[in-house]
Amino acid sequence: MNVITNHMPTAELQALDAAHHMHPFTANGELAEKGSRIITRATGVTLTDSDGNEILDAMAGLWCVNIGYGRDELADVAARQMRELPYYNTFFQTSHVPAIALAAKIAELAPGDLNHVFFAGSGSEANDTNIRMVRHYWALKGKPEKSIIISRKNAYHGSSVGSGSLGGMSAMHEQGGLPIPDIHHINQPHWWAEGGDTPEDDFGLACAQELEAAILELGEDRVAAFIAEPVQGAGGVIVPPATYWPEIQRICDKYEILLIADEVICGFGRTGNWFGSQTVGIRPDIMTIAKGLSSGYAPIGGSIVSDEVAAVIGSGEFNHGYTYSGHPVAAAVALENLRILEEEDVVGHVQNTAGPYLKEKWEALADHPLVGEARIVGMMGSIALTPNKETRAAFAADGGTVGYICRERCFANNLIMRHVGDRMIISPPLVITTDEIDVLIERARRSLDECYAILQEKDLLHSA
């Protein structure tokens, strides 16, 4: 099985990488000096790097490898599809079997009347589709002035100009002239960091009511849609208070605002249901999908659209699409991924076996002196690092200093756990076994201990 081998020494690969490869979301000058870690192969939940280290990937790549690495079925399907029909477009009144079959399967899996799929190559592209689709929807209904999309600070919806504008990451808005007009951001429901002395449920309600206040302030006749992740991922796996989503749904219903659930991470089993919307109990008009749709084996995304929105959009030509919308190889791979998720009851594994097991172990990390809270929904979890649990204090050091130290300890202990500021996050492959969860927790705890020792040594255990 030695198909992909590390045929060059790590240092040579690193030098070429530094010379020619611009990494996303990376300070490339700094990385060039340090050298990138080169991943050569993977099976199940385990990556192998060019030095032969075996690393437990508790991030499933970038939240996407839901069925785990190394599934030959997907490789076989891709090869077969490339031979049969590697590419054809879906623009000019043509279609092909993989796109048809995948759209039908997604419609079957999606709740309610979400029966139509507009394909894209990624989550960012899908959210760009959504911006144009909801604005065009209201224009077709004779209300072109309904063009504002409300989103949330610290949301992540992608990195293109449109989707990066929907997102609420200030570091992204600072570069390249974002956001585009008519995007409005309200606060995120991040009780631990921003809730102060307010009880969590009251805080959740208050955050949701910011949507109502924004609609009233901007004018009901100006607001097209609200977009949010059921559980924020890249923002730090922020689990909203239980009161939040029911109130958001009430407000969207009351003011007839389209609700877009960005399911790029939450979709396809991550939260213990097929979709995060089911976990938090909402009825979106549009869902954004990507990542787990193909378990990352091929780049594909899309928008799942309700009967009503699809009917309005379909009343004329929608001047929008991507060369790779419904790409046959990516669609065939996604379809095979969905077959595996369904036939192997991976969602049930998250809901009944691995999820509850991981939840118990993960939440127990809250007894560690560095951990302020440990939250988890299905297979997405976070812990807040803090110098003072009682006051939920931030560190005096710049945000992310401590998280970075912890992440480096994780790397050294062969565990991929990411940091977002001073929050540590996980999102492992959904097929992770209970034995592998034990390894994950053992390595996480060891990394936290080592991080704690470094903070003591460097005198960094001070509150801001």
Ligand X SMILES: *Cc1c(COP(=O)(O)O)cnc(C)c1O
Residues that bind ligand X (CB under 6 A): 122-124, 127, 156-158, 229, 233-234, 262, 264-265, 290-291, 301
Of 126 and 371, nearer to ligand X (C-beta) is 126
The dihedral of CA 94, 97, 99, 104: what is its sign? Answer: positive
Of 155 and 402, nearer to ligand X (C-beta) is 155
Minimum distance from CB of 263 to ligand X (Å)?
Answer: 8
Q: Kindly report the number of other CB atoms within 10 A of residue 12's CB atom.
A: 11
Q: Which two tokens stand for residue 247?
A: 């109130």
Of 234 and 257, nearer to ligand X (C-beta) is 234
Q: Which two tokens stand for residue 90?
A: 């879906």
Minimum distance from CB of 167 to ligand X (Å)?
Answer: 8
Of 206 and 265, nearer to ligand X (C-beta) is 265
Minimum distance from CB of 135 to ligand X (Å)?
Answer: 19
Of 235 and 272, nearer to ligand X (C-beta) is 235
Minimum distance from CB of 104 to ligand X (Å)?
Answer: 23
Minimum distance from CB of 63 to ligand X (Å)?
Answer: 6
Distance CA 97, CA 123 (A): 22
| Residues whose CB falls within 8 Å of the CB of residue 222, separated by 6 or more in sequence, listed in order | 145, 146, 147, 148
**3-state SS class at 399:** coil
- Residue nearest ligand X (C-beta atom): 123
Of 55 and 287, nearer to ligand X (C-beta) is 287
Minimum distance from CB of 331 to ligand X (Å)?
Answer: 16
Q: Of the candidates 91, 104, 101, which has an alpha carbon nearest to the alpha carbon of residue 304?
A: 104
Cβ contact 44:431 at 8 Å: yes
Cβ contact 105:335 at 8 Å: yes
Angle (CA) 302 304 307, round 5°: 145
Minimum distance from CB of 295 to ligand X (Å)?
Answer: 13
Q: Please confirm whether the linkage preceding 179 is cis (ω < 30° from 0).
A: yes
The dihedral of CA 425, 397, 394, 461: what is its sign? Answer: positive
Of 266 and 431, nearer to ligand X (C-beta) is 266
